[in-house]
Structure 1
Amino acid sequence: MRLFVRADRLRTLATTAFVLWAAAADSIPPSAQMPVQVPADRVPGIQAPAVKVIGEGPGFVRLARTTDRLDATGHRALVGIPLSGLPSLQIADAPASQQAAARLGRVGFFRDQRVVEVLFTPRAEANSAPVVVDLSFDATTKRVPIPRASFYEDLTYRGAILNHDQSLTWRHGPQAAKRASSSQDSGLVGPAFKVTIQKEGIYRLTGEELMAAGAPASIRVSSIALYNGGGQRLSEVGEPAVQLRPVSFHLEDGGDGLLDADDHLLFYGQSTDRWIADPDGERRFLTNPFTGSNVYWVSIGAGVPTDSETIDGSLVGDPAIHMTYTAREHYELQRAPLNIAPGNIPSGKEWYWELLQPGVPQTLDVSLSDAASTVVTLRVGVTTHALGDARVQLLWDTRVVATSSLPRDELTVLQDTIEVEGGAGQLEVRALGDSTAFLDWYEVEYERHLSTVDGMLIFDGASADRAAYALTGFDTAPRLFDVSDEGLTQITGASFDETAGQLSFQAAATDGMRRYAAVIDSSLMTVSNVQARSLGELRGSGGADYVVITHADFSSAAQDLADWRATDDRHAPAPSVALIDVAQIYDDFSGGLFDPTAIRDFLRHAHQHWSPAPSFVVLFGDGTYDYRNHSGTSPGNWIPPYEDGVSTYDEWYTYVSGDDTLPDMAIGRLSVQTADEAQTVVDKLIDYDRTPELGPWQGRILLVADDTFNADEPHLIETMFTHDSEDLAAQFMPPGLDLEKLYLVEFPFTGRFKPTARDAFVRAFNDGAVLLTWVGHGNSRVFAHEHIFVLPTDLQAIDNSRRLPFVFAAASQMGVFDDPDLDSMPEALVKWPRGGAIGMIAASRIGFHNSNMALARNFHASMFTSGRRFVPVGLALLEAKLATDVFRENERRYTLFGDPLTRLSMPALAIRLVTADTLQALGVERFEGEVVGDDGVLLRGFNGEARVQVFDSVVNRRELRSGEPLVYDQPVATLFRGVVPVVGGRFSGSFAVPKDITYRGGRGRISVYASAAQVAAFGSVDGLVMSGTAPDAQPETDGPDISMGIAGQSFNSGDFVPSKIRLHVTIEDVSGINIAGDVGHEIVLIVDGDRQDVTSKFQSGEDYRVGGFAVDLPSLEEGRHDISIEAWDTHNNWSEKRVTVQVSAAQVIEDALFHPNPTSGAGHFSFALSGPANVRIRVHSVSGRLVDEVSAAGNRGHNQILWEPPVRLAGGSYLYRITAMGDAGMATADGVIQVKR
């Protein structure tokens, strides 16, 4: 029998089962169409969609969940429902053990589609009957016209919603979903000048500063307007974005109505950290966690002028004069993050001042400036993470003033009124009991004299109507303003006593508390920065499938990426693209303030108002939890992360529809910090797509699983990593591609680590794979407790060029990208210039194995078993998150480091392959194949080469690890690896089956990778039977012939070589070469006694009996070195080739001679060089006369140079000198030639 594999459609390669059929070799030709169709959910290695629609009608949809595997985590499916009413669920059919097999979850929105979660419970039994459920909803629901959607919008909906076609007319209609937006919503549009300030005060902004930023000379004052957005952080709960409000100011133009360079305007600037009044009038201090810079906007001609009015502050009658005011002072230092995620990972927006430990009190010196009373209100903010009874105590000058218990993770404010003598004292905060707490801040409130020491005084007025005030400490008459409404209203009529330095005024009749500012000209504050910007650019309508949000530092590389995506139509129509500067987002959505929520608000606006709405988002830049650089070590916050207590996740930015936590877009992050890093990453992305490195790596998947040992908890036997990797391999990986397993249970310990596993991991990484999936432990610096890859020490060993894997890490904490001090594993791998990864999915915080694996299974299912080809990785992750119904807090922590629109560089074409279905040891088997197109037709224009691999049968291993069963298929051996030409789309060849096979195994495999002119194809046949020994096998006892050399030259013992060489080895044997790699039968390189298994490097050519490989030797020190190659033929006959070579730091000539000698005619100078050199040979008579000279380029190793004695040269003895001049210096060698005449 011969076994055939045919790819009827290209998608069979990447996502669905190959159609297999068997035919008798002599009676049914390969072209016969006699398929045995096997349903996708019954083909080994193919998992049908977890839930699918099997029926629908006007008011219902029927779903079936079918799976042959155990499922410990359950499954979530999204079903589109009408915009009103609630659906009901009824179980139509289920196994007896699963009568509560499904239930309805939350109702929400996925983009514009209202959806309900259908939650299927875990399956405790394999091969159980399907679970069938019916959903019913209001059949009379009004439908809207089918909405127009771009290819990518439709792609996103179809992958997320089961009943896509049924529900698409229940979406928000185009008028509701894409309602016209108004740029005026922000309060200001068009060109404006962004003015940045840091502290509260009265600021002077000069015409010169505006003109330096690009404003015209001599601005008409009637056209000037000032705006501000409030300076506070944005709301995260879906409230409207910040509105810019007009702010009154005072302008001094010299009376000509024009703002010239020497003119200025005055305005009241507020800090982002400030006191605010609650609705009940109480004052509290508000800190902006993201920025200390407030922004004011100067508009010329576009805004509403709000020049300051004036009010009369003259004293009327004989009012009571207030000489004091209530001073409120807030003291807070941000020394460390309050939240520490498991794994000792700093996290979140909140910081604290001091850690309060039992027995270690914190003491703070408190000074009251110019106090007018000894009565002080003291407030202290503290919190704790402790589960038990945490208590703190406050002492003032050793006297206990307050003691309180603290609820967990809530701010507790301790308050008391105390007597302070002398205007100063000492505050002591103690943690009582065994629990720790955190000091956040303290405040003092007291009566203070209305006096200034620096020429500026800002204070809250008394509550009394028409109150009068006397301010002291001014050298000259100050300007006086009412700043109660955040603007500037000039107060005139105040009296100033120059002798006393006292300013007196009376407030106008107003309601509510007022705030006043007095300042002399020399104390006016200057702004931090003035920049010309344009407002409202993003608040209008637009449209893009793919949005890149970048920092200006990376604009060039980001533009390259956007340009590429806008033209990339290899697998689908090119998306519409928008490149957005994150600074413009801040300007339009947070009033110019740095605020992560502005990014979410922009994406929500784009979803509501753009057509098409974004489906894919790239965050182009790194970010850190240290938003304000409290640590002093933060390198920057180019694109900030969203921090939520002990979690961080970019997914939050895509919560743009409804009030649910369903991600609505595919999002990825390119976590770069420099323009060079940005260009490196973008060049990798574009080259990966446009000019991929063709090679077998495109057809290879690397599955790496942790072992059973946990160094942190050695009592645990963790078989789940191997078990779940086997589940991934059997059910969710593409069966057509080669699967290489690297299971740590197969490797021995050396102390606490597994160095041979490390070597195997680095080798496999450098060989390349289209996908690398890791299942196990890890953190941002390490794969596995056994240290199979340690970022600081092993990254330099990664040199995989353009053979870039996409990495999925089903592990905790490997993607902690928001650490300001360190690059995490995915960041380093994606940025690595000598290869690394094209992208990586990893968790930014701790996770749990069950939820990690649920997400991993759903991701791989979306990528490979959904019936689609070349699924973008970001879309697959989005779909996986929507389908995962276990510990959702964990799955949202998984971040895509890379471009969400990246598609794996798998071969696009398929191969139809014919080979024997049974292999016998020591036999020679033939194979034939064709490269076929999407329609299964031979591609006659395909001319290139095919790499053929034959694999031994899979062996199932069963063992007990401390009583825990461990069952897995061992990694298989390669029996043959060779390259044959492809001509006109066809190829053929032969291979020898070694004696070292798994006899009676029935799970052998042959795969073929073919490439030609930037096009690749792949095909495979499984189920090959290994049976007995070929009856016609001839005895053979001679081992292989081995030769070795460098740079196309063979060498022998005694030859000179450089310290760094690439060794080329050729092995030949009439029976073929054994590369099965059984213990003791490997191809081994031995350098000075150090043995290295190089079996995996060997590859045959068109003739299976001859092959070879090249390998870089370790750096050789000066002196002699022994190099050996050991190899076996398929009959297990052994051979060894050994040479001794020399390395010299200096130029050396050895073995110099002339032959024949004596000579009567032409002969050769022969010599060996330690390195390349320019060679000159001079021949002299014995008296010293030069008779001839020859020059040539000499190579390392053996050299020969022809010399023919001059015709008139007399017979006799002649002296010669060989001079070699190279990089290592000069060397000479002398000799004598006897010439006969």
Structure 2
Amino acid sequence: RYPDVTDAINRKMESGVLILSYTGHGGELGWAHERILENHDINSWSNYDNMPLFLTATCEFSRFDDPDRTAAGEFVFLNPAGGAIAMLTTVRLVTSGQNKTLSTNFYKVVFEPINGAMPRLGDICMKTKNLSGNGQNSRKFVLIGNPAQRLAYPKHLIVTDSINHGVVSGLNDTLKALSKVTISGHIERKSGGKFSSFNGTIYPTVYDKASPVATLGNDPESNIKTFMLQKNALFRGKASVINGVFDFTFIVPKDIAYQPGFGRISYYAENGETDANGPYEDFVIGGTSSNIEPDNTGPEVRLFLNDTNFVDGGLTDENPMLLAFIADEHGINTTGNGIGHDIVAILDEESDNPIVLNEEYEADRDSYKSGSLQYPFSNLSEGTHKLSLKVWDVYNNSSQVFTDFIVAKSANLALSHVLNYPNPFTTYTEFWFEHNRPGEYLDVQIQVFTISGRLIKTINTNIITQGFRPNPNQWPSLQWDGKDDFGDKIGRGVYVYHLKVRTPEGEMANKYEKLVILN
């Protein structure tokens, strides 16, 4: 089994891809002898807003005419929470050589316009099959989906105009390690001419040179294959587009591959109504800058679970989101070139299973000095967990932060870290607590008693929070002025309060704590 492969597929489905292509062994129950994709994975997808086109060159993955079984490919298309928008897929046994031919022909046509417009799914299927010949293998591929639909192709173009304020000129444009680089460009209408009314956001990714990658050859009968892949990102950013024009700045990491070679910039831009994309590859990466500012300090890192209300030792459910905010004077290293210089999270001190988060980091809008990353955990065991996060800047200075958290299964309502602050207080305090039901309506009751048990104050409110820790600044009903139910001040002393939280289904959790009033 290869659980890392399954995890990578599931994560890509959730984050969003345009096309998911698989060529290899498979069947009605999933992909590969190692079961890298099975029905329970497919049914767990919740990617309703970013469903891809599937190309599955594998045996009978979508055999829809078997009344005794729903095939895995059918589950992909029928998943009500996501799955695929359409599928070019197989319904019978197919052969590997002809599958390779068909897959190659698919990529020859899927991005080619027809009479000035991007192809519809029916056109893609027809042209792919026509190029692949009239044999039986092609007939076993069917289109499941709307043949009149088009994929979400970007509508307009992105053009690079200058690097370091000089008009782009190919080999004369060289990005060197630890040099400061500014790149500018514009959005161009598909019909031609600058799109001057485009105001929105551009997402540039600057890649180092392509590098060789080898297959693992885990199967004794498998031959190791080496291929070139351009995957090491020097910078992932976000910048403003104003009147069709943009620019962004970053510092090239120390961890580039130093031999000169062509890099690549991949752009995507959107303004809420339309979008654009485009690459730029006519520049060189290599060498070291002759003007390097000193830097011996690692990045500043703030680590949370789910949202910024989280505190060390806080409560969460079994599917928490790692959330980190990172800042550094010269930027963050995400290249993946240097050994040990990745952004890495370690859960429960299992250093043999590092979670590499280079691709999850994104610089803040119009800044290379700060950014954030998110990573979803899933199905964590109940109880206490430890989490560390190590980050490197582009000068290869590192910082590491740690936090603990407690998982309470969401099947049972749970409370933790119940407190009031300030405590002691005179005329103002806030009630804080953590729960494991984010996104649900909760009835909250706080009752304050004297030491002898007399009820003097009751607070009833309803809340719904995206995180696990309601903030009294957002929910003023969790604030108290120290007065009783009749509006009178209560005397100084020690009091007991009872927090009760109830779900709409009637499930309840409660905690008792003490507070002190100073008058």
- TM-score normalised over the length of structure 1: 0.36
Distance 1:957 1:1119 in 2: 39
* Counterpart AA for 2:271: A
Distance 2:154 2:456 in 1: 66
Alpha-carbon distance change, 975 to 1229 in structure 1, aligned in 2, over 3 angstroms: same
Aligned to 1:97: none
Identify which of 5, 27, 31 aligns with 1:783.
31
Alpha-carbon distance change, 1202 to 921 in structure 1, aligned in 2, over 3 angstroms: farther
Identify which of 378, 384, 398 aligns with 1:1114.
378
Distance 1:905 1:820 in 2: 34
- Superposed, 1:423-502 pairs within 5 Å as none
Aligned to 2:357: 1094
Alpha-carbon distance change, 1032 to 894 in structure 1, aligned in 2, over 3 angstroms: same
Tell me the secondary structure at the aligned position of residue 1026 of structure 1. strand
Alpha-carbon distance change, 801 to 1234 in structure 1, aligned in 2, over 3 angstroms: same
Aligned to 1:1138: 402
* Counterpart AA for 2:514: D
8 A contact 1:952–1:972 mirrored in 2: yes
Aligned to 1:1068: 327
Distance 2:332 2:100 in 1: 41
Tell me the secondary structure at the aligned position of residue 7 of structure 2. helix
Distance 2:83 2:326 in 1: 32
Distance 2:222 2:459 in 1: 79
Tell me by how many angstroms 1:1178 deviates: 3.5
Aligned to 1:1227: 511
Tell me by how many angstroms 1:949 deviates: 1.0
Distance 1:758 1:1184 in 2: 56
Tell me by how many angstroms 1:966 deviates: 3.4
8 A contact 1:912–1:929 mirrored in 2: yes
Alpha-carbon distance change, 919 to 1050 in structure 1, aligned in 2, over 3 angstroms: farther
Tell me the secondary structure at the aligned position of residue 1050 of structure 1. coil
Tell me by how many angstroms 1:1034 deviates: 2.1
Aligned to 2:166: none
Distance 1:929 1:864 in 2: 24
State whether structure 2 residue 265 is matched by structure 1 residue 1003: no
Tell me by how many angstroms 1:910 deviates: 0.9
Alpha-carbon distance change, 786 to 1150 in structure 1, aligned in 2, over 3 angstroms: same
8 A contact 2:444–2:500 mirrored in 1: yes
* Counterpart AA for 1:1070: E
8 A contact 2:310–2:469 mirrored in 1: no
| Structure 2 residue runs without a partner (length 5+) | 164-172, 437-441, 473-477, 503-507
- Superposed, 1:284-299 pairs within 5 Å as none
| Structure 1 residue runs without a partner (length 5+) | 1-752
Two-structure CA RMSD over aligned residues (Å): 3.4
Distance 1:1193 1:870 in 2: 50
Identify which of 907, 916, 919 aligns with 2:154.
907
8 A contact 1:1071–1:1129 mirrored in 2: yes
* Counterpart AA for 1:949: T
8 A contact 2:432–2:469 mirrored in 1: no
Aligned to 1:804: 51
8 A contact 1:948–1:1007 mirrored in 2: yes
* Counterpart AA for 2:357: V
* Counterpart AA for 1:1139: T
Distance 2:124 2:190 in 1: 23
Deviates more, 1:1190-1199 or 1:904-913: 1190-1199
Distance 1:1208 1:872 in 2: 72
Tell me by how many angstroms 1:926 deviates: 1.4
- Superposed CA offset, 1:386-413 (max 9, x none): xxxxxxxxxxxxxxxxxxxxxxxxxxxx
Alpha-carbon distance change, 994 to 1209 in structure 1, aligned in 2, over 3 angstroms: same
Tell me by how many angstroms 1:843 deviates: 3.1
Alpha-carbon distance change, 777 to 914 in structure 1, aligned in 2, over 3 angstroms: farther
Identify which of 924, 930, 943 aligns with 2:180.
924
- Superposed CA offset, 1:62-82 (max 9, x none): xxxxxxxxxxxxxxxxxxxxx
- Superposed, 1:25-44 pairs within 5 Å as none
Tell me by how many angstroms 1:1189 deviates: 6.8
* Counterpart AA for 1:1039: G
Alpha-carbon distance change, 813 to 1114 in structure 1, aligned in 2, over 3 angstroms: closer
Tell me the secondary structure at the aligned position of residue 877 of structure 1. helix
Aligned to 2:192: 936
Aligned to 1:368: none
8 A contact 2:446–2:499 mirrored in 1: yes
Tell me the secondary structure at the aligned position of residue 110 of structure 2. helix
Identify which of 1169, 1176, 1188 aligns with 2:446.
1176
8 A contact 1:1174–1:1221 mirrored in 2: yes
- Superposed CA offset, 1:401-448 (max 9, x none): xxxxxxxxxxxxxxxxxxxxxxxxxxxxxxxxxxxxxxxxxxxxxxxx
Distance 1:1137 1:912 in 2: 40
- Superposed, 1:755-794 pairs within 5 Å as 755-790=3-38, 792-794=39-41
Aligned to 1:830: 77
Alpha-carbon distance change, 996 to 915 in structure 1, aligned in 2, over 3 angstroms: farther
8 A contact 2:482–2:517 mirrored in 1: no
8 A contact 1:1056–1:1197 mirrored in 2: no
Alpha-carbon distance change, 1001 to 783 in structure 1, aligned in 2, over 3 angstroms: farther
Distance 2:94 2:183 in 1: 47
8 A contact 1:1147–1:1221 mirrored in 2: no
Aligned to 2:96: 849
Tell me by how many angstroms 1:1098 deviates: 1.7
Distance 2:397 2:181 in 1: 20
Distance 1:846 1:923 in 2: 55
Alpha-carbon distance change, 915 to 820 in structure 1, aligned in 2, over 3 angstroms: farther
Distance 1:807 1:1046 in 2: 33
Distance 2:499 2:226 in 1: 64
Identify which of 320, 341, 345 aligns with 1:1081.
341
* Counterpart AA for 1:827: E
Alpha-carbon distance change, 964 to 1093 in structure 1, aligned in 2, over 3 angstroms: closer
Tell me by how many angstroms 1:1229 deviates: 1.3
Aligned to 2:141: 894
Tell me by how many angstroms 1:909 deviates: 0.9
Identify which of 177, 181, 205 aligns with 1:949.
205
Distance 2:226 2:458 in 1: 75
Alpha-carbon distance change, 1064 to 933 in structure 1, aligned in 2, over 3 angstroms: same
Alpha-carbon distance change, 876 to 1135 in structure 1, aligned in 2, over 3 angstroms: same
Distance 2:306 2:397 in 1: 29
Distance 2:224 2:316 in 1: 53
Tell me the secondary structure at the aligned position of residue 1013 of structure 1. coil
Tell me by how many angstroms 1:1169 deviates: 4.3
8 A contact 1:1165–1:1201 mirrored in 2: yes
Tell me by how many angstroms 1:1183 deviates: 7.8
- Superposed, 1:563-578 pairs within 5 Å as none
Tell me the secondary structure at the aligned position of residue 994 of structure 1. coil
Alpha-carbon distance change, 1218 to 1148 in structure 1, aligned in 2, over 3 angstroms: farther
Alpha-carbon distance change, 1216 to 919 in structure 1, aligned in 2, over 3 angstroms: same
* Counterpart AA for 1:927: I
- Superposed CA offset, 1:1142-1192 (max 9, x none): 35654455455654x4x6x54535654446763536375x88887777777
- Superposed CA offset, 1:780-827 (max 9, x none): 33323333222x232134332232222223344334332222233432
Residues matched between the structures, number: 476
- Superposed, 1:126-165 pairs within 5 Å as none
8 A contact 1:1149–1:1220 mirrored in 2: no
State whether structure 2 residue 387 is matched by structure 1 residue 1123: yes
State whether structure 2 residue 271 is matched by structure 1 residue 993: no
Distance 1:848 1:1196 in 2: 55
Alpha-carbon distance change, 957 to 1084 in structure 1, aligned in 2, over 3 angstroms: closer
8 A contact 2:318–2:407 mirrored in 1: yes
Identify which of 490, 496, 510 aligns with 1:1217.
496
